[in-house]
Structure 1
Amino acid sequence: MNKVPTFLGNITSVSGASIFVELTPQVVSGLLVIEGKTHRIGQVGSFVRIPQGYNNLYGIISETAEHSSDKNNHSTSRVIKVELVGEAIGSDFERGISQFPSISEEVHLVTETDLKKIYGTGDLGQIIIGKLSSSDSIDVSIDLDNLVNKHSAVLGSTGSGKSTSVASLLRAIITSHTPEVLMPSARVVLFDLHGEYSSALGDIANIFTIDGEKGTENLFIPYWCVAPESLIEFLCGNTQDLKNKFLDFIVEEKKEFINKNPEINLDPNKVTATTPIPFSLKKVWYDLYKFDSITWNEKEMETPAFAVNGEGDIDNLIPPKFRPPNTSTDGFTKKGGDNRWKKNLDNMRSKLLDSQYSFFLSPGGWSPDVNYKSEKDLQDLIKSWVGEDKPITILDLSGMPSEKLDLLLGSMLDILFESAIWSRNLDAGMRLNPLLLVMEEAHRYLSVENSGLSKAMVRRIAKEGRKFGVGSMLISQRPSEIDETILSQCGTLFSLRISNSADRSRVKSAMADSLSGIVDSLPVLRTGEAIVTGEAAKLPMRFKFRIPKTGQFPNSHDPQVSKSWTNVRKAHDFKVLVSAWRSQCTEVK
């Protein structure tokens, strides 16, 4: 009889990284008391240790069953299936195994002393994010370098504690929940689609909102930073001949801006439509309207045949008007434009006048005036997003028109990633100052059916971001709707409670480790509890995120239905509601 108190049983079968262990009768009760603590035996997700001389192999229990040793079921034994995940050589633990165990070798329970050897590290780059579910005295830490460089995803059904867990995770990354150890040079940009995180991270974040709510800054996305083809399609639709002329006028306007601003120090002949140089969108609209509808006073087409007071107004978006063609000698007017783009240009004008797009099409100090002067340039925009005093920037997109979310979010990703590419050898670049992009509601723009700019940018960041110092973190309640190629690029997965079988299957296929038993426990995880697996985790583990302090919870809590419905009924003023709706502002003025 084995006298070692941690002894569980012997290996009966080895199949690749999976082994089967027959438990000794002494632990058939399912309980062991070691080091003054009670341990449950055979729990799915718990660890075991296999001594190999100076080395120790470690594995995770994925299944447990009862096995009959004869036909009459007179003799039964408990059998567990273990997935091998790593080994400790001396006191140094690392993932992967260099040798496989043999039949009949002993398997032992992992005690807290062993767990501390695996998890209990205070090394630089190890960020404590919570406590191990099986032992609340063990801190769970992840590797920050691998988390950012090799991308990650936080997945969980509605009500699983996803938003609170993300807020806790980001706070841990920046402060390890201890304000005095704030990482001063951290760069995190959070794209907040529902305006949830301002209340949770406001003390360590600069917040930008479309309507400039109290305590926030105005969010602007200059149209001239957007991919021109996408901008044209948004404004005018997909008309190829109009698109070609539009691009020509954009290039002309950008060249003129450079000529009027020599401090930019750029050769106008090298300018293309994609060069991020300011230009007047109103001027381009006017020139297109004029080109499309112009008539001439003479056959040589030298003088436009404006109607009386018909020159229009660029700033007020009043189109030019021309006399109709006339072939008679008296009042001769030669036809110029074909008037084939009028509908498209009227649509463009209506968007330029629409106040809900002003953060994009009238971007404050980033709009050049009639003299081709602009108060702010691209460097001011990038600095406001990643170069300010606080480590996190929250870009609150909750007031953004939902049908244009893909274009605008994709444009912001494009701005940040292009800045990383072209600054890779500079002190201000992302290689020396890595950037983490956190994207909420990822399934909305990264689905298989979606083919927009956001998806194209996230794909590119997932494949190339590590080379330029840009990492991504996707957050979603429907992993089955996220493009499989993108999800497979996420090196670290945090899986909270997931009830839907299709979502669980997608998570299982994305996990590098063959831990089906652990994945099958996703539906029964507690709120705020998760399984982390992948590059940033030393081992796949089930853990509980740290609970944020009072005042650090996101604004995503459920309404208190039972309490609210029992209150005395009030006579509400819905005029205030309509006013907030019309003004696109959630605060009462």
Structure 2
Amino acid sequence: MTAPTFLGRVGSVAGSTVSVRQAESVASGISIIGGRSYRVAQVGSFVRIPQGYHDLYGVISEVGAQATPETLVDASQRGESWMTVQLVGEIVETSFERGISQYPGINDEVHLVTEDDLSRIYGGIDVGQVVIGRLAGAESIPVRIDLDRLVTRHSAVLGSTGSGKSTTVASLLRSICQSADGAHCTSARILLLDIHGEYGDALKSVAAVFRVNTSEADEQPLHVPYWALDTAQLVEFLMGKLNEPAYTGVFDKIQAAKLAVADGVPGVDVNALTINTPLPFSLKQLWFDLIDPEYKTWADKERTKPALDEAGDAATLRPPKYQPPGAGSALPDINQHGFLNIRRQLTQMRSRLLDRQYDFMLRPGDWEPDLKGKPKKDLPDLLKSWFGHDKPITVLDLSGVPSAVLVHLIGGILNITYEAMFWGRSLPEGGRNRPELVVMEEAHRYLGKDADNPARDMVQRIVKEGRKFGVGAMIISQRPSEIDETILSQCGTLMALRLSNSADQGKVKAALPDSLGGLVDTLPVLRTGEAIIMGEAARLPIRCRINLPPEGARPNSADPNVTTAWSKPRGDEDYERLAAAWRSQDPKWSDPKKEKA
């Protein structure tokens, strides 16, 4: 009697590709086995090929005419139904291993994979196995991924707009924050860079949310102190390009300012201090010290008495006013000491410091030093606020960050994260004892192939070296073809949702660990919230229906309902409020006067 899981027999074998002649008794559709429903002979379904004491496992990549072997001469055989199967692994004794040690023979039986088979592959509910969804071909079967490999070997979530990418990420992060038995992972540590402000409300119950423009009582203001960023990139952002003498003069001033506050700071060796040592210094005082020599003139030939009309003020960024130099040898005499010819650059620096949209970085609250370089809070307070709170997720909402500084800011945030985890790797707070997963939403905006890209450079460093020091990366993008190839190639796990662009599909196909071109061909027709998961964290390439987060815990990324919005009567509209929301760069802005009333 034929087993209910019987699909057909092996007709030909070519490497890892197996052609299977489908049995006449098997009809494509749904089969009920053991009270559970399974989709039969469909692309993405699993098959099992018994080999004595162990079984081979594969994935159906083609069905029908395209799967018929070209070598068949008999017309009657060409009329039969065929499937193409890609072998992916085997069970030896009791454990599943990727790759195969032997090939099937002609006429070997091919069977449908049941839940019992999958439990043998995934090992049931083990520590480190995270349930993220249901098998698309048999929705009663949970899909589990390996948390250790997901974090340490890096991952990418790819999908076109509207494919359910944001909801998938929210569901995935919530699943990660729960262990296999449902207990809360109290020591989980995830940093999410939220470019569009979609995840703050969705993950509020499990996340500490930092936002540039806070509007909720349970949110915290986002501050990224400039003195913790790369100094060369900071100077370029403030002043633009400088010539070599000017760079040297500016860096000497910064190093002297850091040296002035270094005494007694734990871990700082004044003899080994560099401009990138994360010590606070005052940008206002730096500007004042640089601008004074640019305008200074002397009232005497000995240059002992400045020809000063009005003293400047570093705190308010008011430049000093000197008498203009006289013609030829006449007094006042022009200054020739400390003169770097950077008036234009210092004017740009002043405008940056006065621009309120950069306050989160250039005026970072309690982390802003006074003119002597002393802040109320220092680097340990910043690291504790991001990584030491009692929630497993930290959401950095960057939706209010100007695009001109976004790449540099993300590069700075990643640099702070990586350096802290790297240098503290042996400590209880470091990366090896409490690994850090960095989730980067809308990655194509800042991980492109630009020549000067600090964010890309830092992510390249993380994906190449982060595994050793407990820093993992998760790249999220709707345009994988625009992401730097080095970064994408280092992502050991891919979760591909619906992708319609051929260039993006090609990126996924090139990154496949197994020759499963047929699976990639299904990317344009995946349902919303459905993904093909392949790589290190998934023992088998699998088509998965991701679990939906509960209502009220989903990202603010749903499409507006145009029909409903355009059909309802127009209410009172307040464009003063609209303009105020734009000016404040806060979509939730409300008039404080009306609130008091």
Common fold by TM > 0.5: yes
Task: Report what 1:246 is aligned to.
Answer: 250
Amino acid corresponding to residue 130 of structure 1 in structure 2: G
Residue 71 and residue 385 in structure 1: after superposition, are their counterparts in 2 closer, same or farther (change >3 A)? Answer: same
Residues 187 and 433 in structure 1, CA contact (< 8 A), matched pair in contact too:
yes
Deviation at 1:305, TM superposition (A): 1.3
Q: How far apart, in 2, do the equivalents of 1:5 and 1:328 lie?
A: 104
Q: List per-residue Cα deviations over 1:437-462 (Å, max 9, x = no partner).
A: 00000001112236311000011101
Q: Which amino acid aligns with 2:590?
A: V
- Matching of residues 263-342 of structure 1 within 5 Å: 263-264=265-266, 266-301=268-303, 303=304, 305-309=306-310, 311-326=311-326, 333-336=333-336, 340-342=341-343
Match of 2:564 in 1: 563
Q: Tell me which moved more, 168-177 or 558-567.
A: 168-177
Q: How far, CA to CA, are the matches of 2:148 and 2:4 in structure 1?
A: 38
1:577 positional shift: 0.6
Task: Name 1:110's counterpart in structure 2.
Answer: 113
Structure 1 length as normaliser, TM-score? 0.94
Mapping for residues 461-480 of structure 1, pairs under 5 Å: 461-480=462-481
> What does residue range 427-576 of structure 1 map to in structure 2 within 5 Å?
427-449=428-450, 451-576=452-577
Q: 1:332 to 1:49 in 2, by over 3 A?
A: closer
The yes-or-no answer on 1:131 pairing with 2:131 is no
Shift of the 134–30 alpha-carbon distance from structure 1 to 2, 3 Å rule, reads: closer
> 5+ unaligned residues in a row in structure 2: which ranges?
592-597
Deviations 1:145-194 (A, max 9, x none): 0000000010111111111110000000002598x611001100000001
2:206 corresponding residue in structure 1: 204
Paired with 1:36 and 1:381, the residues of 2 have a C-alpha distance of 55
Gaps of 5+ in 1: none
> Are 1:298 and 1:334, in contact at CA under 8 Å, matched by a contact in 2?
no
In the alignment, is the contact (CA less than 8 A) between 1:293 and 1:339 conserved in 2? no
For residues 297 and 181 of structure 1, what CA distance do their matches in structure 2 show? 76
Alpha-carbon distance in structure 2 between the residues aligned to 1:377 and 1:153: 34
Instruction: Give the drift of 1:198.
Output: 1.1
SS at structure 2 position matched to 1:269: coil
Partner of residue 595, structure 2: none
TM-score by length of 2: 0.93
Q: Distance in 2 between matches of 1:369 and 1:236?
A: 21
What are the Cα deviations for residues 44-65 of structure 1, in whole angstroms up to 9, with x where unaligned?
1111111111110100010112
Aligned-pair CA distance for 1:431:
0.8
Superposition map of 1:11-160 within 5 A: 11-27=10-26, 32-37=31-36, 39-66=38-65, 67=68, 76-119=79-122, 121-160=124-163
Change (3 A) 1:38 1:336: closer
Higher alpha-carbon deviation: 262-271 or 230-239: 262-271
Partners of 1:244 and 1:73 lie apart in 2 by: 82
SS at match of 1:22: strand
Deviation of 1:554 after TM superposition, in Å, equals: 0.8
Q: Count how many residue pairs are aligned between Structure 1 and Structure 2.
A: 583
Return the letter of the residue paired with 1:82.
Answer: V
Tell me the secondary structure at the aligned position of residue 64 of structure 2. strand
**CA–CA distance in structure 2, aligned partners of residues 435 and 39 of structure 1:** 38
Go from structure 1 to structure 2 and tell me whether the alpha carbon gap of 1:451 and 1:263 turns closer, same or farther (over 3 Å shift). Answer: closer
Q: Percent identity?
A: 50
* Deviation larger for 520-529 or 367-376: 367-376
- For 1:572 and 1:455, the matched residues in 2 are separated by 43
CA positional deviation for 1:543? 0.8
**1:183 is matched with which residue?**
185
Which whole-Å deviations, capped at 9, do the CAs of 1:76-98 have from their partners, x for residues lacking one? 21121111111112332222222
Q: 1:141 and 1:62 mapped to 2: Cα distance?
A: 22
- Answer yes or no: is the 8 Å Cα contact 2:62–2:518 preserved in 1: yes
Other-structure match for 1:408: 409
State the one-letter code of the partner of 2:11.
T
Cα deviation, residue 7, structure 1: 2.6
